[in-house]
Chains A and B, each alone.
Chain A
């Protein structure tokens, strides 16, 4: 009897605890205007520039940042922000440098009510470029284009000559002559205010005529205290911010972070202030993320790729449980070639490989039908492509699967010998050879790939057997991704071996074509990972760089010339460009996303039905 009573009590206790716990969670008031974004990228504890590049943290940082001098628009351009900068001047100086002078609006405040002045903008530049920031472990790319950066950054000079504090509401930035002309020069002067009174209390920004500087109280120790203190430092808890949203909470227990509307925010460049009260980013995993969306545990998933996941999302759409938007990726998966040694140094070989692969079928198989192919160094969502799609589709070679053409490329390039130096006979000889600098070079390409990679599997089955038919051999080696990168960048490598790699690439909004295709060896590996040294291609890119920022037509013409040359040289073979899908709760309206206008922008313009 006692035992039965004990079991009964145990059951009652377990059921009660479960019900109570569940009740506790249900009792949590779910604010109507709240959106939970599910992401497979974990939110970490960093909410300040300088430490993390996690995409989810970047969303939150951007949402908390406002009143930049220059902003990115939905149309894919940089413009001066009319909300924070009612007027500005851009003056070309006699020495070739260019000075942007900004007059700030008088009514800007942080979320704590503190007025934003020019000192906050100047402080943001001085802080990020300072040796003290480097000393505390922050990584910034701010300032190298400005006059006086080297001396300030090294600590040789207290003043930053190219940065001037001109008054409470005015400051200027001077860009170095060697950086100009530069088509994206506006992007170089995009600055957001950092709260001086929070990050460097007691420090002042002063300008005695030789450039702005920070007073002596600005030290690494001070920054360690204000920025790095665990739990309360600005890096972890930026309570004073200028953007549409303000920091609310970060829960390290499950890597969830939330921001809430900043009631003092005056708006983005188009007046958008945000209307959804709270935004939360929650970690999800691929296996169950659609279930979380279905059950309402999350409200949104963005950037979903892959046939399986997209099909599951579209099933929910058919059941009217979600809405969705889709857009092409701002990048592509590719075969990348080393263009400086071995057979892949010859563009005809690269083209022959392209002709040997049925890219349409490849993209269909890899993306499950949710992908496209591109024929140049661009993403299908770039405005240059979308405005000139018909012309580019006509002018660029799509390299349709054609082994005859592949063979022609090889023959015309001199791959006509066998291993003995005699004429190559199809059906008799296996591998073509070419006389290069008096030595026979076999048409054998070493290909580095990574394990558990479906792209590698598809290349093995769809390309490797095909090139054998034209007298080429591709030897695949599976390596760790870091080894692949070592070989791609040719870092820590005594003698390069691999001429072919498969990996993905993404574009920046200010893609520095002139660095990526520079023939200056300094850029090899860091930017120019193909090690391609084509003077014509480089000349086009340098010409692009010099385009007047207002001359969009001129830019587009040069951009198309670049694409044509690139398409001929083919340093990469673009394999697929995924169609990304954003799935979201139907109560969210006005959410218009694209690959260059993602969650951080689109959600500020969305609302809850």
Chain B
């Protein structure tokens, strides 16, 4: 087992290095001049000679005057030291500017996990067990609607219903502007602002996940060992939760890994619609504004997260199914 883990960790390092070369090359090939971007807004207030001097200074500061391979190794070395560079948009180190959005994203995603799994797991199982009944058909119809409608349409619908027509929740934002109070009060206010995006996130996640749980459960319930378990006279509860559900867990673990990564990555649509200042919004803004230090740092971060997530996922398979051997 340990040998397996070390081997996988070695693979992670290799994949990381290959991906870093590819990503760096990709970003380098994107047209645009970061030094010019750094000065763009000040151009009108400078004379050409002054602008040129500042431009050359910016080129030096960003290391763009060095050969590309030197730029790559400098960037890689700095990244490994957790120095992700300088954001051209925020005019500050990337490390300093991503803290708050990361906190917001994690908060929103962790809170959404609880109701999502609390609803989808029992609903999917119940739907699978009662396959073909009116209950199952109703769940199928509702989840297909939730699954088919685009995120932003659902978000705008919920805003219209719960923030404009019946103004229960705020339309956007993370906090009531200029609110002062105890940490508890501030926290509750944040929860209040989080409610609507949370509801939308939960609603949009129900369809896919419920149907996934239902499908894997149906598959598991068809297995011979379920028939055997029933023939042995085990109660239906034991058959479903101890035998069928545990076997249905393996594909579910794959889904869980994706969710684990999404805790840190955020949703572009949700965050932009509700102006929830999270990582999804930061990354899309960085890409739009060609703030490559931010986007490259985040892509590398998610790469590492995915590689580790995959390792955790493979280890979990062994825990969920003793037949799986890690070699």
Contact = CB atoms under 8 A, between A and B. Distances in A.
B96 A230 contact: yes
Q: What are the 3 tightest A-B residue pairs by CB atom distance, in nearest-first order?
A: A53-B41, A141-B45, A254-B174
B173 A282 contact: yes
A291 to B, nearest CB: 5
B56 interface: no
Interface string B129-161: 000000000000000000000000000100110
Contacts of A113: none
B159 A486 contact: no
A34 B54 CA distance: 41
A31 B178 CA distance: 10
B167 A295 contact: yes
A258 B175 CA distance: 13
Given A21-B195, A22-B192, A141-B42, A253 B32 contact: no
A254 B177 CA distance: 9
A526 B40 CA distance: 10
Interface of A: 17-18, 20-22, 24-25, 27-28, 31, 34, 36, 42, 44-46, 51-53, 134, 137, 139, 141, 144, 230, 248-249, 251-256, 258, 278, 280, 282-285, 287-288, 291-292, 294-295, 297, 479-480, 482-483, 485-486, 491-492, 508, 515, 522-523, 526-527
A289 B80 CA distance: 41
Interface stretch (B6-14, B181-189, B310-318): B181-189
Given A46-B91, A295-B163, A22 B168 contact: yes
Contact of B188 (A24, A31, A508, A526): A24
B31 A486 contact: yes
A45 B90 contact: yes
A297 B170 contact: yes
B191 A21 contact: yes
A482 B90 contact: no
B178 A34 contact: yes
Quick one: which of B167, B172, B175, B272 has the most chain A CB within 10 A? B172
Contacts of A253: 100, 103-104, 174-175, 190, 277
B322 interface: no
Contacts of A256: 173, 175, 177-178
Interface in B243-271: none
Contact of B277 (A34, A46, A254): A254
B180 to A, nearest CB: 8
A486 B36 CA distance: 10
Contacts of B89: 44
Contacts of A44: 89-91
Given A52-B91, A285-B272, 7 more contacts: A21-B188, A24-B181, A51-B91, A141-B42, A251-B175, A291-B164, A297-B172
B322 to A, nearest CB: 32
A522 B171 contact: no
B185 to A, nearest CB: 5
Nearest to A40: B275
6 contacts: A21-B195, A44-B90, A139-B39, A144-B50, A284-B172, A483-B32
